[in-house]
Amino acid sequence: MERPEQLGQDTIDAAGKVIAVHLNYPSRAAQRGRTPAVPSYFLKPATSLALHGAALRRPHGVELLTVEGEVALVIGSRARRVSPEDAWRHVGAVTAANDAGLADLRWPDKGSNLRSKGADGIAPIGPTLLPAQELDPAGLRVRTWINGELIQDDSTSTLLFPFAQLVADLSRLMTLEPGDIILTGTPAGATVAQPGDLVEVEVEGTTDDGAALTTGRLGNRVVETAGLEPFGAMPRLTDADRIDAWGSAEAAGLSPVPASATPEPATASSAGVSQPADSRPASVLTPELTATLGSVGTATLSVQLRRRGMQNCHVEGLIPTKPGAKVVGTARTLRYIPAREDLFKAHGGGYNAQKRAVDSLREGDVLVMDARGDKTSGTLGDVLALRAQVLGAAAIITDGGIRDFGPVSAMEIPAWGATPHPAVLGRRHVPWAVDETIACGGAAVQPGDVIVADEDGIVVIPPQLAEEVANDAAAQEREEAWVAQRVAEGHPVDGLFPMNAGWRARYEAETSASASEASQQR
């Protein structure tokens, strides 16, 4: 092959194996928050390949068809146990590829990607083949467009694992035959395409004699097809899947979350993965209930909880950034696990659980963090506190340390923490899970619990008790205010606090009369 030639069905028919690389561009690794030490792969059926102009089919009921521009290598000669120095000569051609996928079907086959990346025609390649041996493998450019808008643009000079390493690595254990295809990974910018969108991918390079070569634009339009028969796994998504597919929470439409959303109660999340939008906890707080709870003290609420057998509803040992602040809100939770280097590398960077938790806050939410009471590093800083404030969150509570304590204290949003501490999160913690049951300051907290905090402390109210506790607390405080007036008049507390039968009768008579008078005035 001396110059580009049209890629046809014969290339697809010759593909005995299609091997795809999970992560290979630093830009994409940074987006994912992890950088692999070695390349990892998944296999795709040859029937997943398609030509330029073929339709990209998204079954009805599938929300996320992801598109990923890539460089595809076509093996030209048999490679078995070849060295990195010798590997490139076994590559016959280079072309453009779109390693598209159905993200809704990734959940049952994570890692293997069989259903999400294996559908018929899901991976178009072409439209021309470039002669690999005339190109510098580290000098290729890959770009992707949706409806003419550039979404990906990167160079193979940045690869984590050069093409020769991929060929050599794979050939250690399997024989690469002529016609086999390697999809070499996608850069940052991969996103979601909708029915009607035209997706285009182009690979360009320069020959040894300086001639510019291009595959031309591989173009494929997304179409919606009939839904899947219910014989196996059906579409399922979490917010983490949406963020991963779109590339960011903002692009996925998940930040900010509308304050009016009223989803179903949350279920426990898996490690490091936030829950779907429709499983974030609904709030029982109405404006009236919020006002009632805001009018009573946590000391009174504690009494009412105790009367109902709830003795352990106090978050203890924390200091406020804004002394005197009064907060009523709905609990959202974030759990940290003890720091371990490999786990922090995998889960601590990028768009981790901590950032996802903050980005998903709604108006009136209180983010409660479980740091296991370890106050030897920060678990909150000024940037994330500001993000929570912008989203309308009511407060942030952590039983770990708070970094940037001065700037956080100057913000409108109140926070409670174990202590100020200058160290970063990774010294002691790995952000792990969002919206599951946690412990904070000795109290169990579930997403959807009602949090009330003031200068006396922080109480956690089960949502099913919130209304009756609030009403009874308000009644208790009215009674105590009447008692305080009697004490101010000079009456002794014996028999008055608590009230004996005589004082009780007088109280009820006076409050009944006051209520009647107020009713007549209305």
Residue 354 inside a domain? The answer is yes
pLDDT at 276: 38
Q: What is the pLDDT of residue 351?
A: 82
Which tens digit of pLDDT belongs to each residue from 221-258?
A: 999 999 888 878 888 887 777 887 888 777 877 644 33
Residue 253 lies in a domain: no
pLDDT of residue 253: 74
Instruction: Answer whether 51's CB lies under 8 Å from 202's CB.
Output: no
Average pLDDT, stretch 303-309?
94
Q: Which two tokens stand for residue 204?
A: 């360009």
Q: Is 374 inside a domain boundary?
A: yes
pLDDT on residue 126:
95
249 assigned to some structural domain = no
**Range 430-456 average pLDDT:** 95
**Shared-domain flag, residues 339 and 417:** yes
The answer to whether residue 274 sits within a structural domain is: no
Domain check: are 339 and 399 in the same one?
yes
Structural domain for 412, as ranges: 279-467
User: How many Å apart are CA 210 and CA 381, to the nearest integer?
Assistant: 51
Q: Which two tokens stand for residue 140?
A: 């290729």
| 183-209 mean pLDDT | 94
Tens of pLDDT along 307-353?
999 999 999 999 999 999 999 999 999 999 999 998 998 888 888 99
Q: What angle do CA 502, 506, 509 make, to 5 degrees?
A: 140
- Shared-domain flag, residues 26 and 71: yes
Residues 52 and 197 in one domain: yes
Q: Which long-range contacts (CB under 8 A, 24 or more apart) does 265-269 make?
A: 265/447, 265/448, 266/435, 266/436, 266/447, 266/448, 268/433, 268/436, 268/437, 269/433, 269/434, 269/435, 269/436
Mean pLDDT, residues 508-517? 72
407, pLDDT greater than 50: yes
Is the domain of 154 the same as that of 232?
yes
pLDDT digits (tens, 9 = 90+) for 27-61: 998 877 778 889 999 999 999 999 999 999 999 99
Q: Is residue 52 located within the same domain as residue 200? A: yes
Which domain-ending residue is among 434, 449, 467?
467
At 519, is the pLDDT very low, low, confident or very high (cuts 50, 70, 90)?
Answer: low
Q: Based on the fold, state whether residues 501 and 440 are members of the same structural domain.
A: no
- Are 413 and 492 part of one and the same domain? no
12 and 94 housed in the same domain: yes
Residue 258 within any structural domain of the chain: no
DSSP state of 258: P
Displacement of CA 318 from its chain's centroid (Å): 28
The total of structural domains in the chain comes to 3
Residues 305 and 370 in one domain: yes
The answer to whether position 417 is within a domain reads: yes
Residue that is last in its domain, among 467, 491, 507:
467
Alpha helices in 153-309 (DSSP H): 163-171, 239-246, 287-294, 298-307
Q: CA-CA distance, 416 to 324, in Å (whole number)?
A: 12
Report the CATH number that the domain containing residue 144 is assigned in CATH. 3.90.850.10
pLDDT at 222: 96
Q: Per-residue pLDDT averaged across 477-491, rounded?
A: 90
Residues 6 or more apart from 52 whose CB is under 8 A from it?
A: 7, 124, 126, 127, 218, 219, 220
Q: CATH number, domain at 384?
A: 3.50.30.40
Residue 513 in tokens: 């009369």
Residue 269 and residue 304 in contact, taking contact as beta carbons nearer than 8 Å: no
pLDDT of residue 3: 66
What phi and psi values does residue 116 have, to the nearest 5 degrees? -70, -30
- pLDDT score of 1: 43
Instruction: Kindly state whether residues 109 and 186 are assigned to the same domain.
Output: yes
Residue 229 lies in a domain: yes
pLDDT bracket for residue 509 (50, 70, 90)? confident
Do 40 and 142 fall into the same domain? yes
